Amino acid sequence: MSQELRAVDWTGTGLTLIDQTRLPHRTETVDVRDVDTLVDAIQRLVVRGAPAIGAAGAYGVALALIQGEREGWSEARVREAVARIREARPTAVNLMVCVDRVMTRFTEGLDAVLEEAAAVQREDVDANRAMGGYGADWLLKKAGEDRPLRILTHCNTGALATAGWGTALGVIRELHARGRLEVVYADETRPLLQGSRLTAWELVQEGIPHYVQADAAAAGTVLRGEVDAAIVGADRIAANGDTANKVGTVGVALACAYAGIPFLVAAPTTTVDLSTPTGDGIHIELRGEDEVLEWAGVRTAPAESRGHNPAFDVTPGRLVTGLVTERGVLEVSAGELPGDRLR
C-alpha cells in the first residue's frame, strides 16, 4: 500500500474511512457525516487500531461541530456528542488523548479544531516513520547482524491502523526497505482476523514475503527457532510498561521470553498512559459473544454455550524487551520503564 492511502481522511466536509470490515476482498470507503455514524464505525471496527481511532476521534470533534451547526444543537449537546466519540471504545488511550487534545481548541471554532486534528494526523505519520528507523536499527544490532530477519507480528499495526505507515508494521516495512527482512509470520488474530485480512493485505501491497499462521501456532513457531524477534503494537501502555494489545499478544510475549528472543512493542508516546500505574488499571474491552460463537455469521458453538470475548490482553512490562517510540528504544525489561523515561 502506498503511504498516501489513508485509513482516515478529512475531505473538507466530513470523514472518509476505509471500511476495514470489507478488506481484503473489497476496498470500500465509508463517508461519515454525523456523530452516530462515527461512533458506530469505531465500534464495528470499520476504523480500528489505536492511532487510527485517535485520528478519527480528533476529526470527530469537527464533525460534531458541523452537525451541531447544521441541526441547531446547543454547545452542551455538541460536547455530549464529543464525549460519546471519546468513549466509543475503552482500551486504546489514543482515542481519549486525541479527542482531549483537539478539545483544547474547541472554543476557538471549527478552523482551529480542524488545524489541531490535522496536526494529530501529521504527527502520527512522523512518529511512525521515526519508530520505523529506531526499531529497525535496534533489531539489526541485536538480532540481525549475520542474516535477514524473520519477524513475528500479531494483529494489524500498519497504515490501516494508524494515520499512515504503521507502528510495528512500520518497523517491518523499514527492515524490508533496507533489504534486511527474510519473512514475516503474521498471526491471523482471532476472532476478527485483523492479521489474515489486514496485515496480510498490507504485506501483499508491499511485496513482503509472509506466512499467515493461526494464533495458536505462534508459540510453537517461536520455540522451534523459526523467528528472530516479535514486534507488536499497543493500545495502552501503563507507566510500568504493562502493555494492553490485541488478545493473544501475551502468549507471544511469554513464548519469546522462554525462547530468549526479543519481544518489542512499537507505539507512539500518545499510547503511553502515565496516569495508569500498572496494567491492572487498564479497561479491557469485552466485545459481543457472537464474535466467538459464530463463524462468518453462522453459529458454530452449541446454542447453550456462552462466549468470552476480551478484545485485548495485558503483557507484563517485564516481558517487553523494548518499547519503540518516536523518541527511540527503551529497554523495558532491563529496567528502563516508560514512566521513568517518558515523563
Nearer to ligand MRU, 57 or 233 (CB): 233
DSSP-based three-state secondary structure for 21: coil
Measure the CA–CA gap between 290 and 74, rounded to whole angstroms.
38
Residues 6+ positions from 172 with CB-CB distance below 8 Å:
151, 153, 166, 181, 184, 208, 231
Please report the DSSP string for 201-238 in residue order: HHHHHHT--EEEE-GGGHHHHHHTT--SEEEE--SEEE
Nearer to ligand MRU, 77 or 327 (CB): 327
Q: In angstroms, give the least distance from the CB of 237 to ligand MRU.
A: 11
Of 235, 242, 273, 313, catalytic? 235
316 contacts ligand MRU (rule: CB under 6 A): no
**Of 318, 334, 319, 322, the residue nearest 139 (C-alpha):** 322
CB 279 within 8 A of CB 339: no
Name the one range near ligand MRU by CB under 6 A: 45-53, 214-222, 290-298, 334-342: 45-53
Q: In angstroms, give the least distance from the CB of 65 to ligand MRU.
A: 26
CB 57 within 8 A of CB 85: yes
Measure the CA–CA gap between 326 and 51, rounded to whole angstroms.
13
Q: Is 242 a catalytic residue?
A: no
Q: In angstroms, give the least distance from the CB of 49 to ligand MRU.
A: 4
Measure the CA–CA gap between 111 and 113, rounded to whole angstroms.
5
167 contacts ligand MRU (rule: CB under 6 A): yes
If phi > 0 it is left, if psi is from -120 to 50 it is alpha, else beta; for residue 81 that is: alpha
49 contacts ligand MRU (rule: CB under 6 A): yes
The residue from 221, 245, 309, 321 that contacts ligand MRU (CB under 6 A) is: 245
Nearer to ligand MRU, 42 or 113 (CB): 42
Number of chain residues interacting with ligand MRU (CB under 6 A): 18
The residue from 37, 67, 121, 157 that contacts ligand MRU (CB under 6 A) is: 157
The residue from 7, 18, 38, 50 that contacts ligand MRU (CB under 6 A) is: 50
**Contacts with ligand MRU in 217-236 (CB under 6 A)?**
233-235
Burial class (CB in 10 A: 0-12, 13-18, 19+), 224: exposed
Q: In angstroms, give the least distance from the CB of 111 to ligand MRU.
A: 29
The residue from 41, 65, 113, 161 that contacts ligand MRU (CB under 6 A) is: 161
Backbone φ, ψ for residue 305 (5° rounding): -75, 145
92 contacts ligand MRU (rule: CB under 6 A): yes
- Judged by the rule CB under 6 A, the positions of this chain that interact with ligand MRU are 45, 48-51, 92, 155, 157, 161-162, 167, 194, 233-235, 245-246, 311
Catalytic site positions: 235
